[in-house]
Amino acid sequence: MGRAGAGGDATGERSGGALPPADGGGSRGRVEGMLLGLAAGDAAGWPAARHRAARMPEWTRRLTRELDTFAEQNETTTLPVPIALNQPPEPLRLGPSDDAEWAAFTAEAVLASRGALLSDLTRDRRVRAAVDLAWMSLAAEISSAAARAPEVESAVIPLRARISVRAGLGNLATGLRPPATGHDNPHFFDDAACGRACVLAVVHPGDPAAAADLAEYDARYTQDGDGVHGARAMAAAVALALAGGPTEDCVAAALEQLPPGSEIARNAEHAVALARAARAAGGRGPGRAFGLIPLLEHQIIDHVYSYGIAAADTVPVALALVLAGDGAVAEAVPAAACLSRVADSAPALAGALSGALGGARSLPASWRAACRTLAGCALPRLAGLDLVELAGRLTAAEPAVAGREGLGIHGTDA
């Protein structure tokens, strides 16, 4: 099946130790909150268990598919879930999956940009060069695997990824470059770049426009159209949140990045209007984001396409729920996870923004403990990566962050 519309733009270390006290204030606390919030949202969505099941033997997943077929053919309402049977069940326990791992992939590129080989460039250009190197390195793996396979799409490589990412890597492997790799892509419209964009906001805290531009540079490897617009919006919102901006301003910064007349702009404006109306009618207090779920389900979310990962759906949902929940991760993430059609990524996007707004301490300790370590279900080499330590490394040599009173004043690249 194909989704209506076409892209019109051409434009370290591993640790399993005890959880340290969360750094709730300051820039590290917000970066840590962003990463853990994204991971918690990723874990909260029902698809995470299926992603994590990739670490189980193949026969367990085949049996689950057979049980699903049995339920369909026999009209039973008892539906199967990922199973372990006589295998260790650890991969199926609550934890982050693909969204968090691809966010960490981007974070590693940011860290690599500090290397001596790129020291003569501005910070933004160093990151762009490192992003390019990261994508080209993966594409080289695709090329090597393709030499042993009848076609690129069937190449066996040590990673799992969205359709847009696999297509983008395949395009790179055949010699294409951005923006063609994202434009000539069957899933140009999906939100795969949006989680990566949240991480890239760390490079430009307090500067939504610069963060959006950097996010677009990365997004063009795998997306076009609304897929790029969504990445720009999330980067802008998170960049402002990392500098202490209020929730309403962060959402407004995201909306400014969406071209008038685009599907994602129409949906986002409508979804945010619903959230603002809920705030005006209900005052403050828990449950407002939860009350927004039926409205978003019926008025925003697409029920026609076969995948629930369109940026035009997930980004508006995330912005609306964060706004309705006054930026509280404990309000936005559970509400997003209730929207089953977009539960593969909307909770992660809502968690990234609300985590940046509230800092690491805004997440319950139980969730921080469960979601700090990556499983390697999408990028096996990242198994065991500690997101708390990753946040510390990302903020070890970051640029100065504008204070809340001076969010409109930005310095030059470091």
In whole angstroms, give the CA distance from residue 317 to residue 311: 10
- Judge whether 344 is annotated as a binding position: yes
Beta bridge partners of 385: 14
In whole angstroms, give the CA distance from residue 347 to residue 338: 9
In whole angstroms, give the CA distance from residue 343 to residue 411: 38
In whole angstroms, give the CA distance from residue 320 to residue 141: 39
Torsion of CA 256, 259, 263, 264, to 10 degrees: -30
Q: Which residues contact 413 (CB under 8 A, 6 or more apart)?
A: 122, 123, 124, 125, 399
Contact present, 9 and 224 (Cβ < 8 Å):
yes
- Judge whether 98 is annotated as a binding position: no
Contact present, 13 and 188 (Cβ < 8 Å):
no
Six-digit token pair at 93? 């326990």
Which of 12, 41, 55 is CA-nearest to residue 362? 41
Annotated binding site: 344-345
Annotated binding site for Mg(2+): 344-345
